[in-house]
Structure 1
């Protein structure tokens, strides 16, 4: 048997010293969980496997040891292997199968005899692959036990704890799990515990090829146990651990510690170690915890918790390339320090990182993060992880400098693509709510990343390092080029007036006099718009608010250079004129912006169509001539190569934007004025409406 290279350090009851001692559950705690596991063992119709998964620190290993003790008393325990990353022999995947085989041989006389025969034939079996080890050391010898009645009504169980702490454990699971599921080891049941890591999850749940219920591992998520149940167990645990001390600890103090622990036994254990760590300081340290409201942040006092979190992060990052590691850290930090809980898709769009990579990253961090099934948002399992990662002394290389990260996110959110008329409204005459498919359009044009940026750029800006030149430069550029487009987007989202947030920004940047003045003036603009009658018609922010605004905000001045607006009353023009386009010789009936905002097309009673530069007001090329009467309507194809026009001459014409030449012959068929034209979304068809009370659809290329 010695040739098996088994690991006695991995037995559940091995004394590995005070530092690595394995503890069982405090008497009276975890009762329901342990009873349910025992019931699973006793039920002959139950599944062959049972898997407890849970976030770090929820007490999986103490449950596993208690399970072993209970099973041992009732002669159910065939073998155990407690993986542990700090003991070399307990994290070596080569040792799992031999160690289980060795213990089953001590449990079953028949199995021992068959195993001895195998070892006599192959002395080096301990060095073989997990697949060969499983076949020769367990499957083969176990077959002999099925031909006897050695176990009677007893159900043998093997316990394997903390799979995630064994290096390359997938190499074992990919052989062991199919053998269990295909009943190559009939009657031998397996009890597993681990973090909810994806590679383990995929093996134990067999998500690709689901099997019948009996062949599946029964899954129990420890971190989903109701907090009230866990809280009672933690209270019982705290009282038991402190019972030998003369601290006169009060009920409300015990409850306070339990409340802070949430579902984390390791948090409570860390507090207990702190209180009892130095003789004579128990009362002082208890008082310290009660007054500060959190676990001490001294590295020595939180060492076990810190090591746990550091190991988790190291295991996630170590297999990655440098570039992948940097992206993973950005995803982790941003998911922790955002203005609201975000989903994986929002995080992907915000950081402009591939969604599959984001999903894979969050999945790899399932020991400290989880995705809520109700809102799909990312949450931390416990506040202690934030305490850890905030502290440079505790987290060391994994420490997140929150100011530095807010500075990074500020640059990201202020650099988002905002633009004039972001939803491409075709007209300013409709209220926003009356625009067809408005909700769907807003959702498409203002995606999750842009939505977050619009709503939370101020949160990140006010927490960033404003003395970093690049941040102020980015903010100045945002104010000069995008701030009015941001107001447009926020109005569409129903998020104005936002005045309180602007006040906060003002106080943060008042030392930057130029920006402070800009913010102060902008607040007035936003307030005026949010209280105006045209608030429900977003395009009128540009048409009815901005052109008449007297203050000199740089972006207002820049925008005025591209607006054509004339102030009028019933008695004629009384205001200033901005960029009047003056090439037409008669009334202008129709104007349309190109989607990119770089051109405008117009149709007039002078029988022509003109194309304009909106920045300069100058005509681009010569007027498009051909109609024999007034041009009543113009439209632009989705690819912006063609212009369609409808006229009082009863025809529709299609023009090449670049050459000004008509495409084919006029489209004839209407018997009265053509008052409206439009392109189909694919640009292949033109639809027209006429005073002859008909609507016609035309092939744009052939007529």
Structure 2
């Protein structure tokens, strides 16, 4: 008996489907609340609805490699890791989906995680372990119990390091499984590991997965697919060779690959010809054989060619001829892939254009395609149009209507655009591969454009406190309906809030006085943080501010418009910039301070203080802004004041201090604060921990700051601003 279990968890998609065998009705009431705390990347699962159009292997193709994987999965004495390696476009993900489908139907799939570069949660490791753990929890009552208990013991487990998450949420629960023969073996599939951001994370994941060999009570097997890049090879190089086996798709016999390519092309063209009444043998055996030769072992070439040829009934024969026109046999796989991409792009552009029209159209194509391939999370057409504020939906649809061979354009306008294959991103951003310079997109330029678009959109949207129309400081994030948040913060605004700093980093730009970034930080910093609170993504905001450290050096004490904050190199002294272009004397950390408004109103200056005594406490406040006299206080006690302890708040949600009066905005203060591994953990710029050692508030105006800062090098500027400005 298979029981499909769903955890309802607004804002954090929970378990999609799970399988429980011979267990009858499962009572999850006691553990449901604990499991719901774990973040979940729903799109990472192999059978997520967004992947329903992704291919599996056609019957009669990839027979040998599939048999090898299935034999490995069933053999009790096999190595714990099977690494399926292959060049871009050789069919790794299709094989992984095929294996996942069979294991799922046989009830031996423990979990799956399909990485995808530039696709938000599935492009990073942030939710990797928790997503795996939640899927495992759905496979048996025992695992659900043990994983739930682990979450109950450590409520901040999702903010711990990957090794700690893996040990507590996966290894330890599996080690406790005993006496459940129906679930003694678990297979986890990790696809496209090389598309995970951060080479260091790739090596860490490989090391963690290899720990499966230590399990005794349960047998854990892992299928990993990736390109044979340096980070992957380096990760496996550190493992004993008896822990894993390797299968390289690019080393498979060319005759075997060409046989499978022929079957693929013949099947696709047969279906197309039947629908279009072209004859059962269209386009002919010889033509298919030539296409197989041009594919050069790449299934992505064959799939792209099929989509390009078959998307237009009237031009299918002409497009087929264009692909076959260059019959050179000297091209390698990458050159052939470049040629098919160029063919698709040039066909999308009309030749009957004037020079002025061509300039406009090429610019529009570069803007739209450059945005699609450099977005950190995909967006639907309507949201992309809103983000690219001078670009109409009709213009985007006009560009994309002839590019279905390259880009998956959903019929539902609310579904996101995405690439059929990440190799197109590599092609478009590489000047040596995209030889048509009118189409080539410079990566830094694309990120520069998106940085400006994000900031412009946030500046137009985040113009007042109470971003979601809620000015009551006692309102909890969990008390507001998800659709209300989405109505006030549509997808494009949420995207801008989450990723503008990353685009700024990738652009290579610096922040200068009175530039777009500077003005945004001056006017909208706190509103941006408030929006992140409503999105329940505040930790990302803290890390984004940290990322500005090397970018925002020019703001350190050089701008009167931004009350910048800075610690000395030893992390002990606090300074802030003032309106007279002079730096105020340092405030000894661990002491209270009174900040007074100076002309122009809204900018803080710290009065002189004596040097801090040796060994002074390293906790203190970060003065931000005020439109009135500001009072600050601090406690060295580890316990929060009584008036803080009595406030109600959901676990893990920090308190954003904006233009809400006095101390009323301290309502969301209890529970575990966001934590990050490493020495950079901190509470910054309006993030109130459960037991802050310092609080700064205006008696009639906005609360300005609260802090519990660990001794670390803080950003040179985390931009204070006047919340009353718009």
Superposition TM-score tier, normalisation by shorter sequence: 0.3 to 0.5
**What is the TM-score when the length of structure 1 is the normalising length?**
0.42
Larger radius of gyration: 1
**What is the TM-score when the length of structure 2 is the normalising length?**
0.41
Higher strand share: 1
